[in-house]
Each structure stands twice: as C-alpha cells, then as structure tokens.
A and B are shown apart, each in its own frame.
Chain A
Amino acid sequence: MSPQLEMLKGTLDLMVLQTLQAMGALHGYGIARRIEQISRDAILLNQGTIYASLVRLQQRGLIRSAWGTSDNNRKAKFYSITPRGSRRLAEAAENWEQLSTVIARFFAEPGEQKS
C-alpha cells in the first residue's frame, strides 16, 4: 500500500462530484470504490466517511438521491449530480487547475540551492 495522502478540505466533495459527473448514478459503495481506484489506492478511505460528503453535497443541492436496485439485486441508494452540481463542478475544476498550476510553478522554480 502506498503512503496515504493527507486530504485538503473540500477535496473529497470535489472527487465525489467528479465521480458522479463521469459515471452517472452510483451508490455510496460504488463512489468509494471509484475514488480508491482512480487514486490508485493513494487515498484509502474509511469508506463510511463518504456519507458525510454525500449529505453535505445533497443539502447544497449539488446532488440528488433515490433508492434503487444494485447490479446484484440489492436495494441501495443511488446518487446523481444535478445541473447545479455540474455548474459548481466546472467552476471548482477551473479553480483547482489554476491553483495547482501556480503551486507547481512554485515547486519548479529552481532557486538557490545550498550545497
């Protein structure tokens, strides 16, 4: 297992939104698995914590939920992104890209190295 990454505030919400945007409706377990897969297990969630993020996003009206049936015929709650959520995701993604570019630039700056 690779060392765990420390999560920045709000990044989990962003990952959940992006996952739902890319995959369509998913249940909590599916979202947690997907995040682990994409992060190549660099982020290993206590899978239950995903639900706090789902509650937050739902209360802000960025996702909605409905009970349905999973692939193996199990009753499960499925989440999907709302148009409002898509808009917010687009904004957040742009912001995130700019920020990471700037941060990357800082680390790329050679500077004076002490030998």
Chain B
Amino acid sequence: MSDAIRAFFAKIRAIFSKSEMDDDFNQELEAHLDLLTAENEKAGMAPQEARRAAILRVGGREALREQNRDTRGLPFLEVLGQDVRYAARTLRRDYGFAIFAILIVGLGVGASCTIFSVVNTLLIHSLPFRDPERLAWIANHGDATNDMSGKTTQVDHFLDMRAQSQSFSDMAAYMAFYGVGDAKLIGKGEPERLTSVPVSQNFFSLLGVEPRIGRQFSADECKFNGPPAVMLTDGIWRRKFGADPNIVGKALPLDGGPATVVGVLPASFDFSTVFTPGSRVDIFQPFPLTPETNKYGNTLSIVGRMKPGATIKGAQAEVTILANWTTTRTKTATILSRKCMR
C-alpha cells in the first residue's frame, strides 16, 4: 500500500477519534514542556523563568494543537461536515420554511423531469420505431374546438383512406378514447386498475415493434367479439408477473372476462411517452375495425407509414382529398340509408 493511501486511511480514522487524539497530543506537549523546563532549570534558571523560556522555545500551544489537528485529519472534510451540520440546524430551527423550500425544490425538479422526458422523446431522440422519418400522424384539424372527437376518425373513414392512399404503404390506429385505469385486474391478490389501449391489428408491425416473447394479435382476435387477447408492456410484465417467461398463453383475469396473453412488448417500446406523455399504459387489446365499431363515431388516432419516396407534403395533400371524399361518401350513404328506413 502506498504512503498516500496509508495516510488517507489514518486521516479518516483520526476524524473519528478526535478527543482521544487531542488528549494524547496535550499530554505529549506537556511532557515536552516539562522536559525542557527541567533542562532549563539545570542550566541555572529560576523555575518560573525556566518554564517561560520552555514555552517560548516550543511555540504557542493553541497554534500547535491547531497544526496537529490539521496535519492528522482532513481539514477540508471536517469543515464541510461542520457546514452541513450548521445548515441542518438552521433548517430545523425554521422548519416551516425548510418544508416549504423542500417542496418548492421537489416541484421544480419534478416539473423539469416531466418536461425534459417529453422534450427528450419528441425533439432530441428520434422515435424509437423502425424508420421513424417515414411515420406520419394523421388527424383532423378542421375543428376549432380542440377536443378529441374533432381530431379522431371514424372506422369507415379510416378504412377508406387506408384502401385508397397512394402515399402510405399502410396505416394503423389506436382507439383514443381508452379510459385510464379502466381495465381492472381481478383474481389473486388485490384488484388493480390497469390502463388498456385498444389498437388495430397492424399497429405494432407498422411501427416496427416486435414482441419480445409471444406474437402479435391474430386476425381472429381482431374480429368483433373475437377471442379476448392482450399484449403486455414490459413494465407490467416485470412488476406484476415477475417477468414470467411462460406468461404467453395464460389467461389474464380482467373484470370484463379473462383474456389470453398473446405477447409481451419490448422495454424499448414506450407507448405513453410518444403518444400520451405523462400517463402510463399497461396492456393493449385488439380494436376491431368493423361495422360495429364504426358506430362508435370518431374513435381512432391514426399513424401512417409513408411509402419510400413519398413526401410529407404530397401525403398531406392526398389525405386532405381522401378525407373530404370519404366524408361526403359516408354522408351520402347515411342519407341513403335514412331514406330507405322511411
């Protein structure tokens, strides 16, 4: 062990045996003075004079004690420790202010973290999906009310656009009106509220997300009233199911009836930071694109994958035309069906 390391540990030890070492040094200094005084007396000085000369010769006792403390310990660390203790005492004396200050700092840190996590995902990092530059968000914005119904799309419109679009190789959607905490996990232990997002069958494959275990939703499961199926996020798989590698195929006891776990999504897939910052999503269920769900009205938030070579401008123009076309078409269809009913 090198001298420096040895000395360092000795200094640390010295911090914790302060009073013993102070006593030790005082005794040593007294002994030194006594020896010197005795010698001075032998040389013919009067006892008092001898003592005084000895003190002069050895140096100021306070200064020497100080020097001894500084040499044997870590003065920097000790001063730091004193400052921390002083700060703690001051805060305790005025604890109302201290609590207030801590809360303010906590709020500040929390808010900064939240904002940063959003900025980080949206602006700094590219989206954690395959070829993110070819993904596009498709939403209505002709509606000035800014509520979600004005931004989302009805199933038939979605199917029309998907079928007719030349700029997009595919479109996928999730049901934007999912309820936070609406899926209740029952069964063993305490019931837990989970947030479940219904997605179209091709949602994950369009984004380029492969389940870490299991598979995507099957066509059968995406039929209306098809066999209930769920995919788990990595978070809930670890937290609730202890990262069980055999989870696929097991039934998840939800309050709407058991649903089979068909896959677990990778940790890198984080739905909420991309689509709904600030919330947590636990499971995904299939959203059927059928006449039944069409009746729900505007429900879908759409993501499209542009064909190679397609530009966002071209895609925008095309989608605008398609949207107008499908709206007119559906209106006509509605009027026709009403006429028939008369």
A residues adjacent to B (C-beta < 8 A): 27-29, 32, 46-49, 51-52, 55-56, 58-62, 70, 72, 74-77, 88
Contacts and interface: CB of A to CB of B under 8 A. Distances in A.
4 closest Cβ pairs, A-B complex: A48-B59, A59-B10, A48-B64, A46-B59
B72 A55 contact: yes
B183 interface: no
Contacts of A47: 32, 36, 57-59
B contact face: mostly helix, strand, loop, or mixed: helix
Q: Which of A28, A47, A58, A70 has the most CB of B within 10 A?
A: A47
A77 B67 CA distance: 18
A74 B33 CA distance: 11
Contact of B7 (A49, A52, A56, A76): A56
A52 B68 contact: yes
B28 interface: yes
A33 B256 CA distance: 95
Contacts of B24: 77
Interface of B: 3, 6-7, 10-11, 14, 24-25, 27-29, 31-32, 34-36, 38, 57-61, 63-64, 67-68, 71-72
Contacts of A27: 31-32, 35
Contacts of B71: 52, 55-56
27 contacts: A27-B31, A27-B35, A29-B36, A48-B29, A48-B64, A49-B59, A49-B67, A51-B25, A51-B64, A51-B67, A51-B68, A52-B71, A55-B71, A55-B72, A59-B7, A59-B72, A60-B3, A60-B7, A60-B10, A70-B31, A72-B35, A74-B31, A74-B35, A74-B38, A75-B27, A75-B31, A76-B31
A contact face: mostly helix, strand, loop, or mixed: helix
B58 A46 contact: yes
B68 A55 contact: yes
Nearest to A60: B3
A44 to B, nearest CB: 9
B7 A48 contact: no
B58 A48 contact: yes
Given A48-B58, A75-B27, 6 more contacts: A27-B35, A47-B36, A47-B58, A49-B64, A51-B64, A61-B6
B31 A59 contact: no
Contact of A60 (B6, B25, B28, B67): B6
A61 B24 CA distance: 18
A56 B64 CA distance: 14
A31 B36 CA distance: 12
Nearest to B28: A77
B182 to A, nearest CB: 67
A46 B67 CA distance: 13
Q: Which of A59, A60, A76 has the most CB of B within 10 A?
A: A59
A88 B3 CA distance: 10
B6 A59 contact: yes
B31 A77 contact: yes
B3 A61 contact: yes
Contacts of B25: 51
Nearest to A70: B35
Contact of B32 (A28, A60, A72): A28
A80 B67 CA distance: 22
Contacts of B28: 28, 51, 76-77
A60 B64 CA distance: 20
Nearest to B3: A60
Nearest to B7: A59
Contacts of B10: 58-60
